[in-house]
Amino acid sequence: MARRPLAVVTGGAGFIGSHMVDLLVARGFRVHALDNLSGGRRANLAQHGANPDVVLDERDIRAIAPGDALFEDATYVFHFAGIGDIVPSIEKPADYMSVNVQGTVAMLEAARAAKVGKFVYAASSTCYGLAAVPTPEDHPIAPQYPYALSKNMGEQAAFHWHKLYRLPVNAIRIFNAYGTRSRTSGAYGAVFGVFLRQKLAGKPFTVVGDGTQRRDFLYVTDVAKAFLAAAETAISGEAWNVGAGQPQSVNRLVELLGGDSVFIPKRPGEPDCTFADIGKIKRDLGWAPEISFDDGVAKVAAAIDYWRDAPLWDPTSIARATEAWFDALTPAA
């Protein structure tokens, strides 16, 4: 009996990475999950606890050298590991360059040594900056802060390894992923984690601006399926946008979650709308989103207890947490 194929998932105990592990196991893969648990949680892989074909390695990605046994015989590498959030990247840019750029190089080198069949890089739509919408893949690149820059530099490194070393590489530029298991700790950041903890505490939702800003929210299982499609295709050297292609307002999210709102100042450097042009991935890979926004929010709300230990933000604590953001990104008078 032939041994099942192996995939490496970096950030495999994290938000998107753990859903990637679920999908791969369901499709018959063995999985090596690499995650130092700085943002991921062992509990995200608990459903695979008795499965000997799912291995969690808790090393930092920067500690992996070419020839590491974790990558031996791997068919695919899905690279999600890294650090996110805007404010910490403004405060500690060198950390982001180290983890998101040098860490990516370490993964590329490990994948190259293992002669993997495909390396799929988790890129970010923040590379486009304050973009025209809907945003195609050939839109000018204009990162607004170090997180966005570091993710784009990681993407450039991946494609450089493809060009120079012929490593089969594709990239997925993720727009606004949401869903169960999204991060619950750390800096002020993604709207879902903020709102869900506020709802649990019976506090008003802290809505930025007037709430009419729209985001291209895509449910996490649809994201994972896009990554698998990008691995299984014969195409290499391509980047694809992944979003729902149907931006939703923050006010609509508030309506679906149910609760009162308090409004806080609009932040500089943030687009009024993110809107992925997903025509290319539909044409090339036959991928399309499956989970509607209403259904996705209902899935998250049903699992709301997951966010009980998340930080509870209010207008005062948010104002303190975003001082560096306003200082760095407010245009000079």
Q: Which residues are catalytic?
A: 147
* Residue type at 307 in one-letter notation: W
* Cα separation, 259 vs 279, whole angstroms: 36
Q: Would you give the end-to-end CA distance of the chain in angstroms?
A: 70
The helix (run of H) or strand (run of E) holding residue 217 is strand 217-219
Give CA–CA dist 118/113, Å, rounded: 13
Instruction: For strands 248-249 and 214-215, give the pairing.
Output: antiparallel
Instruction: Give, for 9, the enclosing helix (H) or strand (E).
Output: strand 6-10
What letter would DSSP give residue 19? Answer: H
| Phi-psi map region of 253: left, alpha, beta (phi>0 left; psi -120 to 50 alpha) | alpha
Dist. CA 17–CA 23, nearest whole Å: 10
